[in-house]
Amino acid sequence: MKLLLCVFFCLSVPVIPYAEMDKHNGYINSLIFTPDGKNIISGSWDTTIRLWELSHHLETTVLDGHTLSVNDIVLSPTDEILASASWDRTIRLWNYKDGTELVQLRGHEDAVYGIDFSPDGKSLVSASWDYTLKIWDIETRRVAQTLRGHRANVMAVQYSPSGSTILSASYDGTIRKWDAVNGNMLSILKGHTNSVNDVSHIPNSSNAISASTDHTVRIWSLDGGKELAKLTSHRSFVTSVVVSSDGKYALSGDGKGNAILWDLSLLDAIYTLKAHEGAIWAVAFSPDKQNLVTGGADNIIRQWDFKTGKQILR
């Protein structure tokens, strides 16, 4: 009887395999967590933005409106607005919870590749392949300033935690620091020997970190404008870099599908994830720093345990 009951029970309960986050039909270009850490949002080459419930790796919402690749996404710090940047030369604002497109911002003459909201949510800065940055007034939805100085495609942009300055990274091999109020260029950080693909402020410091096609990740002093360290563990072009909320760790992805977790106090690699087939284009930390996510050219998003470096399967 026990055997029969076991057979009946085993046949009655469905076996659910783990779920990869694999609904995109193109490269994963950008990944961010929602503030509560329960969801992630992804932007893809397939022109869509998708919201995922992390506890089961389930897709819950699809935002479909861009006509070309979605290159970057960012959440407003003050409300439920999501901004997206695309090769279709537009920036779009969305209510990410209900999937409603709110407005399109037009003004760039080429692909928009990076965006960031100011800490107060009143402005948004965009980086474009037309070599410029633009600061947008969110209330009027108009360009407040255009920042010129880069000599090639601008790939990434970020406000400082105070909102007083802006960093940008470019194919011209430089990182530039700008005054966010008057738009003046304050300094040029030089050292990379190829295009700079990403840049990020390091919280609780006056430093920044960058990722480059020259296979390096570099640390910079923003006060002195000097290179502080060159991290050389990558064996391919470095596509992306993100810093944990406490400023202690960084995660970078490269062209061979490897992601490296760095200890920024020791300036050394903690471990390397063989995360994807093909290049990794997006990396992110959860707000509580317990999880990492990576997305790549294999069209898949994967979740990792921060402490062990093991993949989390749902």
Domain ranges of the chain: 2-305
Q: What is the token pair recorded at 28?
A: 């994963």
pLDDT in tens, 165-179: 999 999 999 999 999
- The pLDDT of 204-233, averaged and rounded, is 97
18: confidence class by pLDDT, cuts 50, 70, 90: low
Task: Give me the count of residues in the chain.
Answer: 314
pLDDT in tens, 270-292: 999 999 999 999 999 999 999 99
Share of the chain above pLDDT 90, in %: 92
pLDDT in tens, 223-259: 999 999 999 999 999 999 999 999 999 999 999 999 9
Which one-letter DSSP state was computed for residue 3?
H
314: confidence class by pLDDT, cuts 50, 70, 90: confident
**H or E element: which one contains 74?**
strand 70-75
* Nearest alpha carbon to residue 284 among 111, 121, 73, 112: 73
Q: 7: how many CB neighbours lie within 10 A of its CB?
A: 10
pLDDT (0 to 100) of residue 10:
39
Higher per-residue confidence, 97 vs 307: 307
pLDDT (0 to 100) of residue 295:
98
Q: Selecting from 3.40.50.2300, 3.30.499.10, 2.130.10.10, 2.40.50.140, what CATH number does the domain 2-305 have?
A: 2.130.10.10
6: confidence class by pLDDT, cuts 50, 70, 90: very low
Tell whether the model's pLDDT for residue 61 goes beyond 70. yes
